[in-house]
A and B are shown apart, each in its own frame.
Chain A
């Protein structure tokens, strides 16, 4: 069983479109995250949620809207896609109150044409 799973693995779309990425974790963790990895492999946090509540929004444009319907799911919807949104988006989870190691999904590679 995959611990943190993301779908889809690949998205190719045109500028201006809207797309969503879904994430689910079966580890029983309380905290979930979205990270963006750019073409130079820099990793930057976008959002973190704890028990479905938004905790961190790292000055991400409001075209990006995360949603956490329950503790096990954190989805990312992106409106009006731009070329600069092309990246690999990683979902991760961790246990609240623990030492904080992150468990990552396999990533969703978004290409905006």
Chain B
């Protein structure tokens, strides 16, 4: 079965410092991986995806993610955190065994950026 794991419930970082939010995946075949962000009382917003190609993918709001096949990881990164980045972040994988009609989400990681 396809799955993603986010090992950290919470990540704390000071504004201006680099941030990393971790994600590991378990899939059969080529992974379709995503990051989404959820602000309080809002729906999820798509940040970026990895389907194929370059292992470093760039997304919205200055975020990027690094796909590492040998470590089965897809960590979200940003070189310089902003207070406004504080939110809940979800890693997700598209389950291609169901024809791509199901996306499975990790448990989420809460990011706190302190001023």
How close is A105's CB to chain B, nearest CB, in angstroms? Answer: 5
Give the contacting residue for B102; candidates A42, A45, A90, A107; CB below 8 A.
Answer: A45
Contact A48 B101 (CB under 8 A): yes
Stretch of A11-19, A59-67, A68-76, A96-104 at the chain-chain interface: A96-104
Stretch of B21-29, B61-69, B103-111 at the chain-chain interface: B103-111
* Interface residue tally on B, bucketed by range: 20 to 34
B90 within 8 A of A: yes
Number of residue pairs A-B, CB distance < 8 angstroms = 62
How close is B38's CB to chain A, nearest CB, in angstroms? Answer: 8
Which B residues, 44 to 70, have Cβ-Cβ distances below 8 Å to chain A?
Answer: 44-46, 49, 51
B112 within 8 A of A: no
Residues on B with C-beta less than 8 A from A45 are 102-104
Please report the C-alpha to C-alpha distance between residue A58 and residue B44 in the assembled complex, in whole angstroms: 20
**Closest chain A residue to B52 by CB distance?**
A99
Give the contacting residue for A107; candidates B42, B49, B88; CB below 8 A.
Answer: B42
Residues on B with C-beta less than 8 A from A106 are 41-43
**Closest chain A residue to B43 by CB distance?**
A104
Point out which of A44, A101, A106 has the most chain B C-beta atoms below 10 A from its C-beta. A101
B74 within 8 A of A: no
Given A90-B43, A107-B43, decide whether A101 and B34 contact each other with a Cβ distance below 8 A. Answer: yes
Instruction: Give me 12 A-to-B residue pairs in the complex whose CB atoms sit less than 8 angstroms apart, sorted by A's number.
Output: A4-B43, A41-B108, A45-B102, A55-B101, A56-B101, A100-B94, A101-B34, A103-B46, A104-B43, A104-B45, A105-B43, A106-B41
